Amino acid sequence: MKKPLNGIRVLDLTNVLAGPYCCHQLVHLGAEVIKVEAPKTGDLARQLGADERLNKKLMGISFLAQNAGKKSITLNLKSPRGKKLFLQLTETADVLVENFRPGVMKRLGLDFEELKKINSDLIYCAISGFGQSGKSSDQPAYDQIIQGASGLMSITGNQSSSPLRVGFPVADTVGGITAAFAISSALNANPRGAFIDVSMLEALMSSMGWAVSNYLNTGVEPLACGNENPTSAPSGTFKTSDGLLNIAANKNEHWIALTDHLDLPYLRDNPQYATREARKINRKKLKKELEEKLKKQSAEKWAQELNCLGIPAGKVLTVAQALQSKEISESNFLTEYTDVPGVQRNLKLVTTGIKLNGEHPTAANPPPALGAHNEEIFNGVGVSSVELKELKRQGIV
């Protein structure tokens, strides 16, 4: 299958998650992604993850998660020779992605204004916590900082547990997806050449559109509602005989079908539940009445029955259970690489949440060891293998 970004070369100067995740999307869509890393240490994510042995080998699980299919080179961008090599690489590139703190690339003499002099078609994407300008632009910003700054933590959890961090690095991930979308769009421009400024804060708040819009246009400040859907009721999690069940009876026909199936049609005659707004106001009392019935059988059984009636429902799963579900295990969403260099065992990784012509786009190769592609890439810009050995001795690569 020919992928949409075949023939596109990306220089990936990013670390940890937002930038690497952006380039993870691009490589799955066919781009050649060259990961430019610091000699000896590489991406910090190489030292992060649940397997301490792999962290010491600079193949940490956190790195493996979003670097499949990339090519790794090492290069000291602070050295004159390293800069010269980088400029040669930039001439061959379509895209450059970096997530340094604003100002770092300018101090290196490698900012967009300099690089476009040698490659006017270059698409330069800078990902940062607060964007490239403004009073907070130079502040360090990891995922948790952005979650707090966006207001997201204030609406996560319930009234007793909020503010609460979302359980995965959602700000980094949304920032990365936003950057990949912007880059893909810029590649369609004619002529090419653009500076893309991705603020993780703005990207995350953009994804919070419903909560933000309610406040902006009605003055109603969003609250932490826990597992309840504030826009409808009954819509949230409900206790069953063996665990929690999600039910989203968001339409009136769902409400009618649900009360009929639970043999509770009389609830519809109760003024407290007669309308959508009334059910939202009295959701706690309504939940108790529904759970008296729902506790009589398993979440899985209820999910099957309710879905057959067109009522959206599903058992609340752990990550392990989700990975073992038919929806995931039978969809080719996961890719397995055998005997991965630097890992010395098989490795399973997620792909992307899209299919092209019925297939998940996958990366042909596993995540690379640090500097694994030095010879291939540097030979391509005229550096001989003999010279490469000398550059390595000098700490330039």
339 is a catalytic site residue: no
SS3 208: coil
Chain centre distance of CA 88: 31
**DSSP alpha helix (H) spans, the chain:** 18-28, 52-56, 61-64, 80-91, 104-107, 112-115, 143-150, 170-186, 200-207, 209-218, 252-261, 276-281, 283-294, 299-308, 319-324, 326-329, 374-379, 385-393
Contact in structure between 379 and 387 (CB atoms under 8 Å): no
User: Which positions ≥6 away from 25 have C-beta within 8 Å?
Assistant: 176, 177, 180, 352
Q: Which amino acid appears at position 189 of this protein?
A: A
Chain centre distance of CA 258: 35
- Separation CA 97–CA 100 (nearest Å): 10
Q: How far is CA 91 from CA 2, 86, 184, in A?
A: 25, 9, 19
Classify residue 395 as left (phi > 0), alpha (psi -120 to 50) or beta. left
Contact in structure between 348 and 335 (CB atoms under 8 Å): yes
User: Which positions ≥6 away from 18 have C-beta within 8 Å?
Assistant: 99, 127, 143, 171, 172, 173, 175, 176, 179, 200
- Separation CA 375–CA 347 (nearest Å): 25
Q: How far is CA 152 from CA 145, 146, 231, 357, in A?
A: 11, 9, 17, 36
Report the 10 Å Cβ neighbour count for 173: 21
* Catalytic residue selected from 12, 172, 242, 339: 172
The token pair that represents 295 in the structure block: 């506790």
Tokens 């499949």 correspond to 68
- Separation CA 387–CA 379 (nearest Å): 10
Known catalytic residues?
172
